[in-house]
Chain A
């Protein structure tokens, strides 16, 4: 489809809390971007504005969309009037949860506000046993009665979660059939998450039902207005799906934005043949970290705003440490940074409104923002204000100077990030030292060297335009479909498991074909969840010859012991169908020539306990092959980076800044 004069037009859109980013590429090689303030009341408006501005009404041939609409609807409790249908006797499933409280030492424990209104849970007389046998089939009278109750309750969306439906889906399906005539969307729990654990499955189904009408309206409306034939939405797993599927299963797109970032980081890695990296995505209120080891890591359970969701999502670990994190000294005399954040309003003190010292204020005071402020100077920095709040903090720290206090704040926030990375590497038996730290998001460049140093990581990669990386990831997004099934097989052989995968493979393939994938481009991968018989947590390993030994090795790596004579149980199958994209053959430009660039000017920065003059480079002035030693600052439109002492920077063939530890 070559509808545009300059060739095929592909667009990536990422809507965030503050900005909506749009990047595009044409088949003639041209590309560009646009950054607009988001329009939270109607997120589509900013997208359409940007498209109109960039392309003057010509619809893109393909549009990838990263969206926070599902997450926001859930977190702000602005979803549909939702009902849960469950086995009679278990109507309070969601209110009981797992019985545990989130904070141990709190006189008055609190729980998250549930998505369901109090009287919107409906019991149905039906029951299956743990092995799937039907003990009581739902009869027609009961189903009719249920339907009329739901109609009277004027529900807008329905979730169905019946006990043991992951082994006996028939009852949920019967409910779905019986409620179809109500004309509201019905979400069946076993279709989203065919796994045991009634609370998590119900929670996932209810979250899906809750956001479903809103997401569906939004996506259909936007896709129509864009006029794009190929409109795809980034899912939490880092792969895309079409409007129809995402509208039906919006819960799979709850982490759409962060997943786009990780997918983009993965593309950056592929382009430069990097196998292993830790991504560090630092924003205003939090930092996301992920370990990429040859593939994007997925998890099957995420918790968002206290609500557990069972669906494949990029395995992201989040800490409450960002540019807006507030610093304070507690009654015992320790310096705390975050998780409270000054957010966008009032924001850090140096932006003119806030009055609490934040991480950004510490960076500003120490001269690390290079005086220019954010977004190429569009947001000026009030240094005097930053100094006032830091001086006050220093006094509470036993009379430290504002600079020392600011340095302390940065050390704490960097330690919080270090801890987050240790969680996803060392605590899972992975050594981070061989990995590259890949920093993006507005503020990662200021902290990447320090974090890498604390983990003895010898290389750092800072891509160009780190603030637009997520949109770029969405632009590159391929279709992918994850399907799972629960089972229980003792010491299975590979043939048996492969046989059981066939149905999942067929379904996943069919769905990708429906999206418009070419049959020859569909790649399948299979994995199996195993555990020692009697154990209750599983480890997922690729389903290929030797999978049993791979499980023992993995168990040993994680838990320091294994037993290859112990019987194992296969409890889950996982099939992923992915669209293999045609990639332009990349030759990483070998850097033939090395040049020492000239700094734009020198700036005064407080570093390692004293004031120093540092060269400042403009990212736009740097070209492939440039090489310079730290300490130095690099500024660009949406970000500033600090090359620390002991690090050397060079610009690679993809315009990435590659930092190497000297002598490393």
Chain B
């Protein structure tokens, strides 16, 4: 075994490897077709070692963090299952939450990296082991299913959209037409899908090129070792973080409003245990999986844990396999946080993942008082509008997540109108939205005074109202509509969210998980939750308190 990298080499190589994933992201963003990728940047790119262990993940969308490794694992298994042949230029495509995916709109492409110099040694035709793996994931605005946008209120994975287990999208550098056409036939906006898939493939190509260049410049052995070193480095950073936690057990509970099908709240609970250098996250006592689409598979749950660990360890820790090595996650199969086929999952990725973060932070607030902020909005407020665009004579599917208030913390008030925790997508500018889709934005502002009071005030949520100019299907997937995000250290909770539809002069409240047909001229208004407050207010201010 070679000696450990010195601090200089470690820094040099970690930057080089992280840069590869970042560059893949740049390419994907610029080449992307749909507003969801180009404007909102709902995608992630990562590189993996020969065994499929994550090496670096560009800081894009946290909810993809823990789940891309499972995509790569599933792709490798599928590729080696029958013939066992993995050749240069192969690209696998998948979205099935039950084999490596998260929810159906997230399409992941996975490719092996072979080094040019090695090809000569394997002329015999025997498959070689790839030097590394690459993955690029993007959220596609529609992958079929019973409502445009594929984020509907379903009770079964089969209703949610087109399922793709790991299949070849490219074989030996040539596109597999059958795969492409089968998929395109099952989405409402095929041209846009093809453009976005091309962009994902371009990201893989650029990653392949950069990684090969690194291997040529420094030698494959050195790069392989650098990958290992980088994973060890992340592990050490996380171990240093764990050492700061007090020894003991810290439990917390939280809940989701409901699953959109059955009315009762869904319980989540966690117990954190520090055992020496390791951290155990026990989620075994969460509610059983639900009928509605709020189920999270283990990949999504892992992502949420990943995110919290990364926040605690400091923003500079490279996200990779080493980071999760000192962390054990315990779940019970068949629960909300580790669902089984054929549970519906569209909202697990976007809603349940947020609640798992709230839950973990609540438990950590007991372990590390004075470091953890109050709850943020805790929902992505997923709004989908789709239908037939009369003017352009084609289907449209608009998908957007609406930000909310950030929780206040020990160091200051929470930010207004910010995407927090598991997502960090940008908004679609109103001017672009209105030129792409038959929609008009009526208002887009802060929901004033929705943040919880406290020594530090929670951030305010958003108030957004959209009019549909053609008949359209509305799908809303949101939460924290019953109880607002909790405050901490004496701070009050933020206001819960509220949603209404106005039609023919009448306005009525709608449920947080809704599927509804809108007529041309109808308006939907989403008011997102404010963040929780932090700290007790002083006596004078307390007299003016507005709500409890």
Find residues 426-476 in chain B having any chain A CB closer than 8 Å to their own CB: 426-427, 429-432, 434-435, 440-446, 462, 465
Interface centre among B372, B425, B442, B443 (most CB of A within 10 A): B443
B205 to chain A, nearest CB (A): 5
Among the listed A109, A397, A534, A561, which residue makes an inter-chain contact with B406, where contact means beta carbons less than 8 Å apart? Answer: A109
Give the residues from 252 to 309 in chain B that come closer than 8 angstroms, CB to CB, to chain A: 307
Residues of B within 8 A of A334 (CB): 7, 10-11, 14, 233
**CB-contacts of A265-298 with B (<8 A):** none
Q: Tell me if B411 counts as interface (CB < 8 A to partner A).
A: yes
How far, in whole Å, are A427 and B236 apart by their CA atoms in the complex? Answer: 31
Task: Answer whether residue A345 sits at the interface, using C-beta atoms and an 8 A cutoff.
Answer: no
User: A396-436 interface mask toward B, CB cutoff 8 Å, 1 = contact, 0 = none?
Assistant: 01101000000010011001100100100001000000000
CB of A301 to closest CB in B, whole Å: 13
A397 touches B6 (CB 8 A): yes
CA distance A329 to B10 in the complex (A): 11
**Bound Cα distance A107, B374 (Å):** 10
CA–CA, A121 and B347, complex, Å:
36
Contact of A130 among B191, B419, B434 (CB under 8 A): B434
Which residues of chain A are near B191, meaning CB under 8 Å?
534
With a cutoff of 8 Å between Cβ atoms, the chain A residues found around residue B59 in the complex are 104-105
Residues of A within 8 A of B71 (CB): none
Which residues of chain B come closer than 8 Å to A461, judged between CB atoms? none
- The verdict on B316 contacting chain A, using a C-beta distance below 8 Å, is yes
Cβ proximity bits B110-144 to A, threshold 8 Å, 1 near / 0 not:
00000000000000000000000000000000000
B164 CB within 8 Å of chain A: no
Please name all residues of chain A whose beta carbon is closer than 8 Å to the beta carbon of B246 when the two chains form the complex.
none
Give which listed residue, A105, A535, A559, A561, contacts B310 with CB less than 8 A.
Answer: A105
> Which of A104, A111, A419, A532 interacts with B418 by CB under 8 Å?
A111
Q: Is A103 an interface residue (CB 8 A)?
A: yes
Task: Give CA–CA (A96, B412) in the complex, Å.
Answer: 18
Residues of A within 8 A of B29 (CB): 537
Q: A89-B445, A96-B462 are in contact. Are A106 and B311 (CB under 8 A)?
A: yes
A333 at the interface (CB under 8 A from B): yes
Give complex CA distance A544, B376 in Å. Answer: 52
Q: Interface size bucket, B side?
A: 35 or more
CB–CB A101/B424 < 8 A: yes
The answer to whether B7 touches A536, judged by C-beta atoms less than 8 angstroms apart, is no
Given contacts A333-B10, A536-B39, A559-B27, contact A110 B415 (CB under 8 A): yes
Contact with B along A561-605 (1 / 0, CB 8 A): 100000000000000000000000000000000000000000000
Chain B residues positioned under 8 Å from A537 (CB to CB): 29-32, 38
Q: When the two chains form their complex, are residues B429 and A197 in contact, meaning their CB atoms are under 8 A apart?
A: yes
B315 touches A105 (CB 8 A): yes
Which residues of B are found within 8 Å of A130, using beta-carbon distances? 431, 434-435
Whether the pair B417, A96 counts as a contact (CB closer than 8 A) is yes
Check: A5 CB closer than 8 A to any chain B CB.
no
A99 at the interface (CB under 8 A from B): yes
Q: Which chain A positions have C-beta within 8 A of B432?
A: 196-197, 536
> CB within 8 Å of B: which residues of A?
89-93, 95-101, 103-111, 129-131, 163-164, 166, 196-200, 329-336, 397-398, 400, 408, 411-412, 415-416, 419, 422, 427, 488, 532, 534-537, 555, 558-561
Q: 16 extra interchain contacts, Cβ-Cβ under 8 A, other than A91-B445, A332-B236? A: A89-B444, A89-B445, A90-B444, A92-B446, A99-B402, A100-B41, A100-B425, A104-B310, A105-B310, A131-B435, A198-B430, A331-B237, A332-B237, A332-B317, A335-B10, A397-B8
Where the two chains meet, the residues of B that have a C-beta atom closer than 8 Å to any C-beta of A are: 6-8, 10-12, 14-15, 19, 23, 26-27, 29-35, 38-39, 41, 59-60, 62, 191-192, 195, 198-199, 201-202, 205-206, 233-234, 236-237, 240-241, 307, 310-317, 371-373, 402-403, 406, 409-412, 414-420, 424-427, 429-432, 434-435, 440-446, 462, 465
What are 30 A-B pairs with beta-carbon distances under 8 A? A89-B442, A90-B445, A96-B444, A97-B417, A98-B426, A99-B425, A99-B462, A101-B418, A105-B62, A106-B311, A108-B409, A108-B411, A108-B412, A129-B440, A130-B431, A198-B430, A330-B237, A333-B10, A334-B7, A335-B7, A398-B7, A411-B12, A412-B8, A532-B33, A534-B191, A535-B195, A558-B30, A560-B27, A560-B201, A561-B202
